[in-house]
Chain A
Amino acid sequence: MSTPQSARYSLRPTAQLRRRKLVNHAMEALGTLAALAAVAVLGLVVWAVAKRGAGALDKDFFTKLPPTFGETGGGIANSIAGSIVIVLVATAMALPIGVLIAIYLNELAPPRVRRSIGLVLDILNGLPSIVIGIFVFGLLVIGSGQAAWKASFALAIIMLPLVARSTQEVLALVPDVLREGSLALGVSRWRTTLGIVLPTALGGIFTGATLAVARAAGETVPLLFVSSVTTSQLSWDPKLALQSIPLTIFEFLESPNPDDHEKAWAAALVLMTFVLLLSILSKAFLARSRRKLTR
């Protein structure tokens, strides 16, 4: 039936083509598996924290102070208050300065300066937080003692490159037409920047801020050095050394008491929920501002 002619020009895949397709499928499967594995690890961590932490989570956990030695029960109200104070003060320091840096780099700086300071920001972003902790300890704590605002200063250094870089990224998306239009109308540089450029980029600035807050809220090492010798009283005063959630987890975890381990999981659940919600929020902000700017 089949002539030699049609056999020669057969559309059936040759052995080599089959092998190539096999290799392709194998590689695609590996890629898919790797992605699934990463998602699975996230799922495992979240699941473990949720399962072990949920047991100790009740109203007392959020509103009561830690028990005195030998007692059970109690909560971590002081750590929650401390974390809120430390992160808020840090944001108040890092956000304006980060935005100023981004304005300078994107709007005003000559290219050479922009590149060098950008490099410094990237390097600062890559510095281990433990190095920043030691720096702030030496600069502010030696001689005058620990305080929550000093921990905020350390966190602000960690947040600064994140805020500056993400603000700079959105500023770069603001169309030049807007700037040039404003300048051509005789509006001065500072009014153009404050009145036209910044409002357009506001969404992106919020993205950077939430991302930075999420990062700072989970930082442990600088707090360990700068705001760890605390009382277990509830306080909102940034001039005192305040307890914080990450530090509480770290200390509970080192404790030999299994009741404390359960509390470490519960505190981890609170911290993780907060951080993950913030990172989802920042993604939503980012998507929104990108849509608005690139429309």
Chain B
Amino acid sequence: MSAPAATPTRPLRLSTRSLGDRLGDFTLYGLTGGAAFGVVAVVALLVYELFDQAWPAIQRFGFGFVTSHAWDPVKAKFGALDFIWGTVYTSLLAVLLAAPLSIAIALFLSELAPRGVRGLIGALVEMLAAIPSVVIGLWGIFVLGPFLHDHLEPFLSRTLGWTPFFSGGVPATGTGLLTAVIVLTIMIIPITASIARELFLAVPNDLEEGALALGLTRWEMIRGVVLPYTRGGLVAAVILGLGRAVGEAIAVTQVIGGLLGIHVSLFQSGDTLASRIAAQYQGAATNIQVASLVYLALILLLISLLTNFGAQVIVRRFEFQRTGGS
């Protein structure tokens, strides 16, 4: 009897969704959002943790650490300059070798290769990236190193020994900066090449065909259309390769020789940030040595954040330009 009277007091239901669905949506948002922001938290925690571990060294050595040569666990004197030099020098040389080669490979895969070969060779080049770095290091020390020592290094010493890069005569073993540079080159080529290939494949066909229809040769089309169109992305691809080279530890540890000092000659041994940490972090004798090694890691982190961030910004700007800002 009171049924009609009760109707107005019932809350107006805007949503017809059941409780289960609302709960489900809430859980979905919560879980996925939590995971996504969790990653950001992990990265932040990582930076904090490194600062925390490096703190004794930061307090003791300050910024002077970056410009100091010393690495003497006995006298507890530590500095990063030699390793920064080793990292920057080997990585830049590797990128210098790898960039033109990768771009050439990518051009072959996207513009030149016959259709049947294209997929196969592309897959093989990417497989090179899949080989674990410890295996590359093993190959570097037992196969590449001795080969360089027996064949390439005597030749380089004879013909280019007058330049600072190959001075000082052939070293006694196959380890050293040259071997490290070549190993790094091998490791970054597949990365840079596969990004560059994607870029070249994204060049609109009408631009390429238009250029060919105007009577340009394939190389002129590449130089005049493909390369300018992909310039920004190529820079980013090379920087990403550089980031990989800077952070590579295990393969470099095995072939670089692990020696202090700032050398220009590739026949010398040296050491990089990552390689020194890999070699000593476990066996470090004193707390200050551990803290100094983490300080090295902090510098490495900074370099790799800068390179990655730079590359991503370039990629994003490049995409923005290409899609007209949509």
Interface pair A108/B32, CB less than 8 Å apart: yes
Are A42 and B35 neighbours in the complex by a CB distance under 8 Å? no
Question: A101-B35, A131-B247 known; 14 other A-B pairs, CB under 8 Å?
Answer: A31-B112, A35-B125, A38-B124, A45-B135, A48-B143, A97-B35, A103-B28, A115-B316, A126-B243, A127-B301, A157-B42, A188-B25, A268-B138, A272-B131
User: A41 to B128, Cβ gap below 8 A?
Assistant: yes
In the complex, whether B10 has a CB less than 8 A from a CB of chain A is no
Interface string of A20-42 (1 = CB under 8 A from B): 11011001101111110111011
A to B CB contacts below 8 Å, 30 in the list: A24-B219, A27-B219, A30-B104, A31-B107, A42-B125, A45-B139, A100-B36, A101-B39, A120-B39, A128-B304, A129-B249, A130-B249, A130-B297, A134-B294, A135-B45, A138-B52, A160-B39, A189-B25, A189-B28, A190-B28, A220-B134, A220-B250, A221-B249, A246-B134, A249-B135, A253-B137, A253-B141, A253-B254, A272-B132, A279-B130
B101 interface neighbour in A34, A188, A249, A279, Cβ under 8 Å: A34
Give chain B nearest CB distance to A52 CB in angstroms: 8
Interface size on A, residues (CB 8 A): 87
Determine whether B92 belongs to the interface, using a CB cutoff of 8 Å to chain A.
no
Of listed B53, B127, B135, residue having the most chain A CB within 10 A: B135
For residue B52, which residues in chain A have a CB less than 8 angstroms away from its CB?
138
Interface positions, chain A 205-220, Cβ under 8 Å from B, are 214-215, 217-220
Q: Is the CB of B33 within 8 A of A108?
A: yes
Q: Is the CB of A130 within 8 A of B127?
A: no
Cβ of B220 under 8 Å from chain A = yes
Query: Contact residue range for chain B?
Result: 35 or more
Check A214–B130 contact: CB distance below 8 A: yes
Chain A to chain B: the 10 pairs with minimum beta-carbon distance, closest first: A218-B132, A128-B247, A104-B32, A34-B104, A126-B308, A188-B21, A190-B24, A24-B217, A100-B35, A31-B108
> Is B109 on the interface with A (CB-CB < 8 A)?
yes
Q: Pick the contact of B130: A30, A109, A225, A275 (CB < 8 A).
A: A275
Question: Helix, strand, loop or mixed for chain A's interface?
Answer: helix
Cβ contact of A38, chosen from B32, B43, B105, B277, cutoff 8 A: B105
Given contacts A104-B36, A220-B250, contact A131 B46 (CB under 8 A): yes
What is the chain A residue whose CB lies nearest that of B35?
A100
Q: Is B209 an interface residue (CB 8 A)?
A: no
Residue among A33, A104, A228, A283 with most chain B CB within 10 A: A104
Contacts A37-B101, A122-B312: A24 and B240 contacting too (C-beta < 8 A)? Answer: no
Residues of A within 8 A of B95 (CB): none
The reply to whether A21 and B130 form a contact with Cβ atoms under 8 Å apart is: no
Residues of A within 8 A of B277 (CB): 130, 134
